[in-house]
Amino acid sequence: MSENPVVRAVRPDVRKELLAADDAGRAAEPFVDEEGGAPLRCCLRRSTPGERIALVSYAPLRRRAGATGTDPGAYDEQGPVFLHADECPDDPYDPYPFGGAHRVLRRYSHDGRILGGELVGPGGIAAGVRDALDGPDVAFVHVRAVEYGCFLYEVARSR
């Protein structure tokens, strides 16, 4: 793959929308994370103790389809994601965050159809994404948690 992939967090405007009404139509119920450690999808880092966060329902393929004019069809799914309830700090995040555990990489076509998946070990996200994006039909990859299948973030070809 000749270009550098782009890691995409939940954008600030989408975070605000999800806090008002998530993709299941519910308003967020922010809370203070006393323990910390929740994987925040808005800034791609773990929460710290005392931060205000919210757990909301997010449909990444549905939102991508709306932006690109495609139809996610049967691949449309929504699941839980943690977000900051207030503005995100401007902390830079790791190029491939949440890499200390096994992860599932799901490959998708330009029109949002799944093209397969792969289980990668701790530290294997970068190489797995590079290999996945080498496929000519692969437009983007979702990095997901193994335990619950939750969406963590998207990696796409740079433009």
Q: What is the pLDDT of residue 109?
A: 93
pLDDT in the model for residue 59: 96
CA 8, distance to chain mean position in Å, is 7
pLDDT of residue 2: 47
pLDDT of residue 92: 65
Strand order in the sheet with 51-58: 31-33, 51-58, 79-84, 39-40, 45-46
Mean pLDDT of the chain: 92
pLDDT at 8 over 70: yes
- 159 has pLDDT over 70: no
Q: Residue 132: CB partners within 8 Å, gap ≥ 6?
A: 105, 107, 118, 138, 141
Q: What is the pLDDT of residue 75?
A: 86
Residues 53-109: tens digit of each pLDDT: 999 999 999 999 988 888 888 888 999 999 999 998 876 667 889 988 999 999 999
CA distance 46 to 83: 10
Q: pTM for the whole thing?
A: 0.92
pLDDT in tens, 113-134: 999 999 999 999 999 999 999 9
How far apart CA 133 and CA 2 sit, in angstroms, is 10
Residue 56 has a pLDDT of: 97
